Amino acid sequence: MIHLESRMRLFDGSPFALNEFTLHRKDSSSMIKIHTYLNGEFLNTYWADGLIVATPTGSTGYSLSCNGPVVFPDSGSFVITPVSPHNLNIRPIVVPDNNIISFEVEGRTDGFLCTLDSRREIVTKEIQIAVKKEKFGINLIRLNENNFLQTLRDKLSWGLDKRN
């Protein structure tokens, strides 16, 4: 689980998500600059439409569709994936989940989308936002004894030769 920290109350007092946190341009405005820090140390400035921070569970959703890696559920990490980055040398990065990831956003508009899974809020560039590992977890039920590797092979058609 991922936890959002902000001086402003966001998401009706439930600032956590199972899959991912995103910062994204609000509309068809031009790309934004997202200055990103790990534990207060500068990591990178992403010139992009947005940025995804995914949990291992969320790594197979939005992050994967933006060319992020698949991460094993018990890996103890976050994936930082840019959405449509301007620089071609910018790639997703996997960081340990004991990091606090903070952001400063710049753009031509004042408002930006901030999401936690399917919930969204509009935030201004003045707001300070950080994400970290949530203090609590959740228990998931596995149906039909499927395991992670079997699910990957089935859903991504790994090992199948579709030419025949």
Structural domains in the chain, CATH included, are 2-139 (2.60.200.30)
Higher-pLDDT residue of 92, 160: 92
> What is the average pLDDT score of the chain?
92
For 26-79, the pLDDT digits (tens) are 877 788 999 999 999 999 999 999 999 999 999 999 999 999 999 999 999 999
Arithmetic mean of pLDDT, 136-143: 83
* Average pLDDT of span 120-148: 88
Q: What pLDDT sits at residue 164?
A: 66
HEC per residue, the chain: CEEEEECCCCHHHCCEECCEEEEEECCCCCCEEEEEEECCEEEEEEEECEEEEECCHHHHCHHHHCCCCCCCCCCCEEEEEEECCCCCCCCCEEEECCCCEEEEEECCCCEEEEEECCEEEEEECCCCEEEEECCCCCCCCCHHHCCHHHHHHHHHCCCCCCCC
Beta-bridged to residue 77, according to DSSP, are 96
Low-confidence winner among 44-48, 87-91, 130-134, 159-163 (lowest mean pLDDT):
159-163
Position 144 scores a pLDDT of 74
